[in-house]
Amino acid sequence: MSLCINPRCRQPNHPDNGGSSTCVACGSGLVLQGRYRVMRLISSDSGFGRVYEAYERNVPKILKVLKEGYNTNDKVVELFRREAQVLSQLNHPGVPRVEPEGYFLYYPADGGEPSHCLVMEKIEGPNLKQWMVQQGNHPISEKQAMLWLTQLTDVLDLVHQHNYFHRDIKPENIMLRPSGQLVLVDFGAAREMTQTYMANLGDSGITTVSSAGYTPPEQEQGQAVPQSDFYALGRTLIYLMTAKLPNDPAIYNSRTNAFGWRSAAPQISAPLADLIDHLIAPAAANRPQNTEAILERLAQVRSRQVSGLPRSARVAAPTWPLTTLNPHEAQTLPEPSRSFLPPWLDQRPWLLAGLTGLALAVPLGWYALMRSTSPQGLLSEPAQTLPQAQVQVQLLSTLAGHEADIQDLLLLKDGRTLVTASTDNTVRFWNLDAGRLVRTLSDHTNVVKTLAMTTDQEILISAGDDRTIRFWAMADGRPLVTLANAHAVPIKALEVSNNGKLMVSADSDGTIYLWNLVGPDGSIDPQHLATTGPSHTLQADGTVNDLRFTRDDSYLVSGGKSLHLWDMENLDHPATLEGHEPLTFINRLDISDDNRILVSASSDKTVRLWNLADQTLYATLPGHQSYVNDVRIDGPRLWSSDANNTILVWDLNQKTYLETITGFNTDIWRFAVQPNGHIVTIGGTENLLSLWSLPADADK
C-alpha cells in the first residue's frame, strides 16, 4: 500500500495506490524524489508537522511534512528548514542521519501549494519517556545515569562545535537505539550561535521554544544560550533518576519555586548530584561554560567512584574557567585517593565510559539480533501484512477532573460507573451515562497506580507510590482500612482472587504479597489485615506490572520484566514462561473464560497466547506498530490497545486478526468497553477520560 501526502486528496489511502506511481484518487506522485514511497501515517500531533513512515526500497525512513496551515508562517518554515540544515552537517550515531538533499518541496497534481518535506533516518527504538513506561517507571541507576549523561554531553559537544544549540532537550526528544546509543532528535528548534543572534537576545523576533519543566528561565524570556541546553539536560536526568516529572510536587514546590529532587534519588551519589545541580543552576552564568567542562567533571565523579570514595562524600561545585579540553585525550586529574584501575585506564576516564557503554551494548545488540527471529518458529509479521479491515471511532465526549496522568481504570458491572486512579494522588468515580464526576477520594499522599475490587464490588482497593494499600466502601467512598507501608517500594499491581478470599499486591522490585481477605468469622473482612499482614511473600524477577488469577484460582500469573506462573499449591517454584523478546516488558495480562488461554501484551509490540495446560507459547499475534499497553477478552474476541492510537480485534479461538479500530487521538494506555459498545480510554497528556462510539454496523 502507498499513501498520498497531498493534504487535499479525498482518499490518500486508496487501495489501488500500492502498484501505482501516482495516486488513483488525485493524480499526485507517490514516489517522492523518485526514491521514497510513503507507507503509513505515524503521527499528526508532532508540533508543526505530520510524521510518516516511508521506504527507500526496503530501508525504512521518517518523513516529516509541514502542515499546510503553516506554509505562510515564515518563522515556522524557518524552524522546519533549520532541522534539515543542522542534521545534514552532523555525523554522529547520537544524531539522526539526513542526506544533503533530504529537504525538498512536494508539488501535488492539483496545483496547490507545495509541501515542505524532510526525510531522515528512522531510529528503531523508544524515546526515553516511552522507555521509562516500558520498564515500569523505575528510576535509573547511577551507572546508567553516568553513561547516558556522557553520551548526551558528547552529542552536545558536536552540536555546539558547529555553533548550534538544541533548545528543546527533554525525554521525548531522546531516543534509544537497540545498540544502547542515545540519539538526540527534533532539531527544529535549534539555533545558530551568531553575533547577530547574540546582539538580538531578548528581541521579540527570536522564536521562543518552551517545554514545561525542562526549559530554563532565560529561554522562557527569549534569551537562550548554549548553556540553556545544559539546564534541560540536567532536568532530563533528574526525571530519569527519580521517575518523577519536573512539576511533581514530590520534588517541586510551586509556591516557593524550590526544586528538591535528591531525596527522591537515594541511589545517586553526592558528587554526581552536585554536578546535576550545577547543570540546572537558575542563572546560565552559574552553569558549566561548555561541554568540555561537563566531561571533565564527569571524569572526576567517575574517578571518585572507582577509588572507593564514600557515596556520602560531597564536593563543592567549582567555578569552571573557560578552558579548552579535549575529552578524547588522556587526562591526568587531581585525585587524592588511590585508584584501583590499571594506570592505562585510570588516566582515561572517558575510555572507562566507553567500556561501560560496550558492556551495556552487548546485551542490547543481542536483543537487536533476537528481533530477527521468532520464538518457537512463530512468525511475527509486520503490521502492513494484516488485512486492512479498519473501523473508525467517533469521539462522543471527554470527562475532565484529574489534574495529572490517569494510571488505571475499572468499569463496574453496571456498565456506567467508572473508577480511575491518577498521578494527582486521587481516586475518582464517574457516571459515564450522565458524563459527570461523582466522587473524589483524596487520602493517598502520592501517585495512585492501581485499582482492584472485591468480587461483590462492595469494596474498592487502591495502591501506588505512597506504598499504602487502601480499602474503601464502594457505596459512599468511605475509607475502611489503610495498610501503611504495605510494601517497601511503590506498588504497581493489585488483584483479588475469583473466589474473593485472597488479595495479591506487587511492587517495582518484584516483591509479591498474598493477603487473606477472610476474617476470623469466615466472611470477607479486610480489617484484620492491619494486624495479620501478608500470608505469603513471593519474589518475581524484576518489576511487576500486572497480576491475574486463573479462573479456578489454581494459579497466579505475574507479568512485568518476566512472566511467571505461580502454582497456588506450591508457591516456592514458579514456572517462567519465555517467548517475549529480551529487554521488553509485559504490560497487561488476561485469561480466557474457559481457563485455557493466558494472554500477555508486551512492549515488544506483540500479543502472545499461552496454553495454561502445558504452559507453552502457542501463538503470537503481530500487527501492532508500538507498545501493546492493554488487552481485554470478551467471549471469543480479544481486544488489544497500543501506544500508536489503535485497537486490534482478534478471534481468540482461531487466533486470527479481525479488524483495526482507529480514530483515537492519543495513545491508549487503558480502555474499557461498555455494554452499549462505547469505548472508554485513558492516555495522552491531557488527563482526560475519552468516550468513543463505533459505527452502528461495526462488528461487535
| 212: DSSP letter | T
Is 478 buried (19+), middle (13-18) or exposed (0-12) by CB count in 10 A? exposed
Tell whether the model's pLDDT for residue 357 goes beyond 60.
Answer: no
In a domain, 64, yes or no: yes
Return mean pLDDT, the chain: 82
In a domain, 368, yes or no: no
Can you give the CATH number for the domain in which 112 is found? 3.30.200.20
Residues 653 and 523 in one domain: yes
* Cα 208 from Cα 231, distance rounded (Å): 16
* Other C-beta atoms lying within 10 Å of the C-beta of residue 223: 18
pLDDT band with cut points at 50, 70 and 90 for residue 72 = confident
C-alpha 385: how far from chain center: 26
Residues 102 and 159 in one domain: no
Of the two residues 698 and 696, the one the predictor is more confident about is 696
Residues 114 and 150 in one domain: no
- For the four alpha carbons of 350, 353, 358 and 364, in that order, the dihedral sign comes to negative
**Domain of residue 83, residue span:** 17-122
pLDDT tens per residue across span 547-571: 999 999 999 999 998 999 999 999 9
In a domain, 349, yes or no: no
Residue 290: what residue type? N
Lowest-pLDDT range, 248-257, 274-283, 388-397, 684-693?
248-257
Nearest to 191 by CA among 216, 168, 157, 215: 168
Number of domains in the chain: 3
Lowest-pLDDT range, 51-55, 251-255, 366-370, 464-468?
366-370
**Beta-carbon contacts of residue 630 (< 8 Å; ≥ 6 apart):** 587, 588, 601, 640, 641, 668, 669, 670, 671
Of the two residues 330 and 152, the one the predictor is more confident about is 152
Mean pLDDT value across residues 588-603: 94
Q: What is the pLDDT of residue 306?
A: 52
Tell whether the model's pLDDT for residue 220 goes beyond 80.
Answer: no
Tell whether the model's pLDDT for residue 199 goes beyond 70.
Answer: no
* Cα 116 from Cα 5, distance rounded (Å): 11
Mean pLDDT value across residues 383-408: 82
**Collapsing DSSP states into helix, strand and coil, what is residue 518?**
strand
In a domain, 2, yes or no: no
pLDDT tens per residue across span 99-115: 777 889 999 998 889 99
pLDDT band with cut points at 50, 70 and 90 for residue 363 = very low
Residues 630 and 652 in one domain: yes
Can you give the CATH number for the domain in which 489 is found? 2.130.10.10
Residue 79 sits at φ, ψ, to 5 deg, of -60, -40
Can you give the CATH number for the domain in which 160 is found? 1.10.510.10
pLDDT tens per residue across span 267-315: 999 999 999 999 999 888 999 999 999 999 998 888 766 544 433 333 3
Domain end among 122, 153, 173: 122
Domain end among 263, 297, 329: 329
Residues 611 and 477 in one domain: yes
Residue 667 sits at φ, ψ, to 5 deg, of -60, 155
Residues 118 and 132 in one domain: no
Q: What is the pLDDT of residue 188?
A: 57
Q: Which residue has the cell 529537504?
A: 103
* Cα 450 from Cα 603, distance rounded (Å): 19
Residues 540 and 600 in one domain: yes
Would you tell me the crossing angle of helices 270-279 and 291-307 to the nearest 10 degrees? Answer: 170
In a domain, 670, yes or no: yes
Give the strand order in the sheet containing 637-642: 390-392, 656-662, 647-651, 637-642, 628-634
Residues 142 and 277 in one domain: yes
In a domain, 52, yes or no: yes
Residues 87 and 175 in one domain: no
pLDDT tens per residue across span 638-685: 999 998 899 999 999 888 899 999 999 989 999 999 999 999 999 887
In a domain, 677, yes or no: yes
Q: What is the pLDDT of residue 46?
A: 60
Residues 237 and 106 in one domain: no
In a domain, 604, yes or no: yes
Q: What is the pLDDT of residue 255?
A: 67
Domain end among 76, 106, 122: 122
Residues 460 and 600 in one domain: yes
Residues 204 and 118 in one domain: no
